[in-house]
Amino acid sequence: MSAPAGAADNAGPSAVAPTGAPVSARPYQLKGGVSAPIYSYGSAIRETVYVNAPDYDGDGSPDRVAADIVRPSETAAAGMEVPVIMDASPYYLSLGRGNESEFKTYAENGTPQKFPLFYDNYFVPRGYAFVAVDMAGTGRSTGCVDQGGVSDVGSVEAVVKWLNGNASAFDVNGAPVVADWTNGKTGMIGKSYDGTLANAVAATGVRGLETIVPISAISSWYDYDRSQGLPFSWNYPSGLSSLVASKRTEPVDCSATLARLAADDGDESGQYDEFWAERDYRQGPQTNVGKVRASVFVYHGLQDLNVKTRNFSQWWTALGSQGVTRKMWLTRVGHVDPFDSNRSRWVKTLHRWFDSELMGIDNGILDEPAVDIEIKPNTWVKNTSWPTAASTTFTPRADGSMVAAPGVNAGLSSWLNAPNQSESTAVSAGSEKNRLLFATGPLRADTRISGTATARLKVTSQVPTGQVGVMLVDYGLGKRVLATGDGVSTTEKQTCNGSSTAFDDSCYYTTKRNIGNTPLQVIGRGWARLDGAGAHQLTVRMDPDDTVVAKGHRLGLVVVAAAPSRLRNVDNSPTSRYTLDLSATTFTVPGAVFTAPARDARTFGWLPKTNELTPGTVAPQQKGMRLPS
């Protein structure tokens, strides 16, 4: 149901007692231009349905997908249809959701009692239903996890189809059940794996999915597990799929699926093949951006070292090429939900977004600048597009300088691989024999770097399989959001957003930003594989950023081989020599950069010592399994 443009604040039903609501064409009442909390959360209908999905695990029976639902009882009694906000996840029983790792809980008879996160508490009283889906192979669903493949995506797509009247389901007693209480409009939301599912389902083109809000989400699993042929870790698809299936209630033998994932992931070659194309929502054969019907509200942390920023940037650009309605928030923190970093502003904005896209309320949000960006701590700007900056191309010189001028630079610069060299050492006062560093002179003015930096390199090595890494660095003392805790720390204060019950409260701990003065910050990273000995001409794309580099700072470009704190080395020899041909090398920075002359760059007297780095300036080595959680 939708309201006409400029609908009055009294549109929809009046505030009512939990026992009933007057019949109305609209399930909402406007107050202050947004849907008001007029329904009882405590008396809301809570139920579980099991949606039939295709037999992805090959056991001869349809996969059964558990969907836990909470919806207003008053709208049901009045025969009003409501839209759906959905968070599909593999984590509801395995690892938990949110900063406080909440799990679903159930009454003795199996009725859902606690829904993690605030979406149900906040939106159900405003006339929405909330649906929490256990992805196939997790929670109370059957089937098997296949890390972003057809089972993951198809199991969640089936629930959207059921909500739109195009799939079958049954209740806990096995009786058929239809979603006659919804208007068929669904909006998906979620962080990391959950947001990835939102991207993926949108890329199927399924009808009924009106909008998605992917938070710190993956758009191509290759770009999560790989960087231009180099693995971030080994056997990740099978390892992650096994982990998120823990604590599931349905015993299903998924050993064949896990074996297939381990055999097909291509760790040894690093190639993009059919396995990864299946898990590519931008240009895959089954799921791709050309099928997207839903509007998209992207959120991503610009210092996210888990789901790296290449995932949002290429998705955003691809959506734009297809004319998809888009909105985006970019912040200076890492892998953090905006509910935990910008709570008040985020909740208000998300409320208006869902009102617009699911209720049809014309509140002007689509007329505002599409992009909000935190370019430095607590400093936000609005833009109509992204990225915003023109680019500057630099050429490196043998003296260690790089200048924004064309020309052929004769000469070679070489370095030795250092298998154990940390990023912190490489970008600061590390041994010059184990990395190359080219730097500009001091910047003449504050300079905004917005987008993806690239390095066009001609590199020679003599190893059968080698690697090269590049890092764009802002050198200069300044106040920055630290990498510690992904940029935030949890406080002892709580705020409440919505209604509560004895089993499900709406109150969550707040966070504070971890901000400090640091002597440098890495603002772009990229790595690429080198197959075969000899010369390689290649372009390395760094993870994008959007930040202001202060006047007087220098921009530096660091070139290394091994990067053990960031990815798995394919060259572990400490004697491997790599050589850079300066005459065929350029660095392109996304910004209009004006610098003073770079003199005596090889003295590096302006570099900080390693032990002077403020803790958290660069992220520590990630140990164990990274989780898109």
Q: What is the distance between the alpha carbons of residues 33 and 20, in angstroms, rounded to a whole number? A: 24
Q: Which member of 192, 341, 424, 565 is catalytic?
A: 192
Our CA angle for 77, 82, 86, nearest 5°, is: 125
Residue 485 backbone zone (phi > 0: left; psi -120 to 50: alpha; other: beta): left
456 with 586: CB under 8 angstroms? yes
Residue 272: closest CA among 622, 568, 528: 528
Cβ count within 10 A of residue 552: 14
383 burial (CB, 10 Å; 0-12 / 13-18 / 19+) is: middle
Among the options 63, 194, 335, 553, which is catalytic?
Answer: 335
SS3 call for 525: strand
Q: How many angstroms separate the Cα of 517 from the Cα of each of 124, 411, 425, 478, 560?
A: 43, 37, 18, 5, 26
As a whole number of angstroms, the distance between CA 281 and CA 443 comes to 39
Separation between Cα atoms, residue 38 and residue 17, nearest integer Å: 9
Distances in Å between the Cα of 442 and the Cα atoms of 445, 452, 531 are 9, 21, 37
Q: Which residues of 327-353 are buried (b: 16+ CB within 10 A; e: fewer)?
A: bbbbbbbbbbbbbbbbbeebbebbbbb
| Residue in 385, 437, 408 with CA at minimum distance from that of residue 557 | 437
What tokens appear for 381 in the block?
């700007």
> What length is written for the chain?
629
Is 351 in the active site?
no
Is 335 catalytic? The answer is yes
**Paired sense of beta strands 82-89 and 129-134, if any:** parallel
CA-wise closest residue to 278 among 193, 203, 364? 203
The residue ranges of DSSP E strands in 464-533, in sequence order, are: 465-481, 488-496, 507-513, 515-531
Cross-strand partners of 454: 541, 588
Is 192 among the residues known to form the active site? yes
Cα–Cα distance for residue pair 83/294, rounded to 1 Å? 14
Catalytic residue among 152, 225, 304, 545, which?
304
The torsion of the CA quartet 539, 544, 548, 550, rounded to 10 degrees, works out to -40
Catalytic residues: 192, 304, 335
